[in-house]
Structure 1
């Protein structure tokens, strides 16, 4: 396993093409700004040129470069679309990725549990250390909050109010995580919740946390669901559905929803439509994931559902992710023996590039409230 200390600062000059690309974002190699890339092994240049963002990320995991302000580095690179320009030089690979997205259904039922095994089953100790006490692994709502725990409680309550939850209602939670929403809604709004997840570790802990409440947690893909529900919620799961499956996903949700019900969808959104997925994120964090664009979502929803409300609070995800990083970093002393230095660098890279993704506004956070066209009455938006 490589470590930063095993590398000496590189003396080789970076290729001019990389210097020019970095300069477009206001970034320098071995510069004096905190967001500049400090090269410790000159092989990093070759890895970036030949593998793009995958090479950049793996080189960081291998300790080949450092940066004092990773979040600011990624914010600048993403604002300037550097990664897109870099991968554009490897034209054949980009074309191959686009064709693969069109031909292959990465999120088909047979692959549904891969992201659970790869990411969400990493270890409950990691997530318990990083997340707030409600164990919410999605964007908090910081309109009035001044800390992560309050931001997550405010998010949960916002969702409950948007859904107009009433005591005794039956709620479906698609992608229930560690049961944060189910526990909150059952305790504070008197509803029963049926949650489904593709992660065994999530299921185990969610059942423990919701013990004694009218909550069931099952290991199940959304395509396997049956029944009828007053309300449906899906928080941070839609990113794993994939564009090829959007029609099936929405048809399933609407089939399960009562005619007078409401469906709240909480998802990361992309500022433009693209067939590309980030190869580093796909390999190390979220296999088979694909963030939707507004165009892809509205196309799938057209003639299926009424969009009663569309709320964007993307900047709140920047604050959420950086709070996760502080929690994770503070707890690392108790986790390091089990997970090791390469995992630490992978997780640090993941959280900081996520912060830059939202800070650059390439990433959005959307909450949509959906209903069937024949739902009676008027819906009043909640903030």
Structure 2
């Protein structure tokens, strides 16, 4: 029989309370749903088992990473259609930053309420029949191993960073390109990824007013690109810190090859353990997302204490839209399990408030949302171009994680569900002096 897809479509429409937004193809070759466009492929009935035993994002993620769930056609188009199930749309069809009722109903209480409906109970029984035999296989090996205890201790943060970054420098070279910059680029019309990343590093250096001999602390220095640029182009003396041993090894090699060992120091060090201030400037680019809400004020105060009076902080950080009820915010299960364990996003206003509470004077905020969408699409294109290498260097599951994460994130930035901002803050001197120009946005250019 080849009727799995029509049966699945009927079940999905019952549980969603809405027409199926994409066409599906089941393991028996059958298809159902609207014609045209991308097709969601359930390559094996294991995909159903994973979703039944862990309803929601994590079950879907496990099926995707394991290869039980794939896409035939344009991944961006499919994700855009499916996002309508998770986000309500206003009268003008623009996404609203609040979950669809089906997502709000997630969890034990929501499941119990759903299953009080006889049609929903019948739909679940149909899923169980299609998914047999049960239970599902173990989660894919790429899923983060969980360590108990409180979030954001030094040891747990190091483990989380290692999960994401210590997957092979060669893999990241295939995705990021020669710049090895893993944060939002700064694009000009018609520019390349390499040019955009160079321009981003240069923008940060200019905002920080780096000059020969200036001491720069680069928090979360990654593969050393910012440290190298600041030392080579501006003559700064840079200390870069990271918790990733693979990043540190790559950065140290680059420092040696460029002959900058007298100006760049790379350390495997937690930001909480830096004691050798004061610095003239601090750059934190794509690192603060790992800090966590409970630690953010400590993070801000520590950086404030490491700056000299008049010193500048450039905090480059992804932001989420605020929830109507902030207590309802929860971390995306796929991101938490497979991409950034223990990572947290905060609204821009929260970040600015915490920096001000730490003593900083916030002097400029520049939103780069569209720039990150372009950056992510460039990374996705590179990953697809080097797909066989990426799989060989890591695993098929790891490559699928990065593909889904980057494509979905690109849409998140394009649709305004995510943002990224450069916040320039100053530790003002005792007389209130900030050493900032009257017209900031020239940045000395």
Q: For this structure pair, what is the TM-score category when the shorter chain's length is used for normalisation?
A: 0.7 to 0.9
Conserved 8 A contact 2:390-2:399: no
Post-superposition shift, 1:270? Answer: 0.5
Q: Distance in 2 between matches of 1:235 and 1:316?
A: 15
- Give unpaired runs (5+ residues) of structure 1: 1-6, 95-103
Post-superposition shift, 1:340? Answer: 3.3
**Matches for 1:69-84 after TM superposition, within 5 Å:** 69-78=74-83, 81-82=86-87
TM-score normalised to structure 1 length: 0.87
Q: Distance in 2 between matches of 1:320 and 1:276?
A: 26
- CA deviation vs aligned residue, 1:214-262 (integer Å, no higher than 9, x gap): 1001001111111210010001001000011111001001100111111
Matched, 1:128 2:173: yes
- Give unpaired runs (5+ residues) of structure 2: 25-32, 88-98, 111-148
Instruction: Identify the residue that residue 143 of structure 2 maps to in structure 1.
Output: none
Aligned Cα root-mean-square deviation (Å):
2.6
Conserved 8 A contact 2:43-2:69: yes
Matched, 1:234 2:289: no
Matched, 1:57 2:61: yes
Q: How many residues align?
A: 367
Instruction: Identify the residue that residue 305 of structure 2 maps to in structure 1.
Output: 255
Structure 2 residue corresponding to 1:318, chosen from 370, 373, 377: 373
Q: Distance in 1 between matches of 2:281 and 2:78?
A: 41
- CA deviation vs aligned residue, 1:81-140 (integer Å, no higher than 9, x gap): 34654442223489xxxxxxxxx8522323120122101001111101111312100011
Matched, 1:31 2:31: no
Instruction: Identify the residue that residue 276 of structure 1 maps to in structure 2.
Output: 330
Structure 1 residue corresponding to 2:196, chosen from 144, 151, 167: 151
1:154 and 1:43, CA in 2 relative to 1: closer, same or farther beyond 3 A?
Answer: same
Post-superposition shift, 1:329? Answer: 2.0
User: Secondary structure in 1 aligned to 2:283?
Assistant: strand
Q: Name which of structure 1's ranges 46-55 and 200-209 shifts more when overlaid on structure 2.
A: 46-55
Q: Distance in 1 between matches of 2:61 and 2:222?
A: 27
Instruction: Identify the residue that residue 114 of structure 2 maps to in structure 1.
Output: none
Instruction: Identify the residue that residue 382 of structure 1 maps to in structure 2.
Output: 441
Structure 2 residue corresponding to 1:138, chosen from 171, 175, 183: 183
TM-score normalised to structure 2 length: 0.76
Conserved 8 A contact 2:312-2:425: yes
User: Secondary structure in 1 aligned to 2:394?
Assistant: helix
Q: Distance in 2 between matches of 1:217 and 1:174?
A: 10
Post-superposition shift, 1:12? Answer: 2.5
1:191 and 1:70, CA in 2 relative to 1: closer, same or farther beyond 3 A?
Answer: same
Q: Name which of structure 1's ranges 118-127 and 299-308 shifts more when overlaid on structure 2.
A: 299-308
Q: Distance in 1 between matches of 2:393 and 2:422?
A: 37
Instruction: Identify the residue that residue 265 of structure 1 maps to in structure 2.
Output: 315
Matched, 1:369 2:424: yes
1:75 and 1:358, CA in 2 relative to 1: closer, same or farther beyond 3 A?
Answer: farther
Bigger RCO (CA 8 Å, 6+ sep): 1
Post-superposition shift, 1:344? Answer: 2.6
Conserved 8 A contact 2:16-2:102: no
**Matches for 1:1-383 after TM superposition, within 5 Å:** 10-14=5-9, 15=11, 16-20=13-17, 26-27=21-22, 29=24, 30-41=33-44, 44=47, 47-48=50-51, 50-67=54-71, 68-78=73-83, 81-82=86-87, 85-92=101-108, 105-144=150-189, 146-211=191-256, 212-213=259-260, 214-226=263-275, 227-273=277-323, 274=326, 275-303=329-357, 304-373=359-428, 374-379=432-437, 380-382=439-441
Post-superposition shift, 1:280? Answer: 1.2
User: Secondary structure in 2 aligned to 1:290?
Assistant: coil
Post-superposition shift, 1:351? Answer: 1.8
1:253 and 1:279, CA in 2 relative to 1: closer, same or farther beyond 3 A?
Answer: same
Conserved 8 A contact 2:152-2:295: yes
Q: Distance in 2 between matches of 1:378 and 1:12?
A: 65
User: Secondary structure in 2 aligned to 1:51?
Assistant: coil
Q: Distance in 1 between matches of 2:226 and 2:19?
A: 42
User: Secondary structure in 2 aligned to 1:355?
Assistant: helix
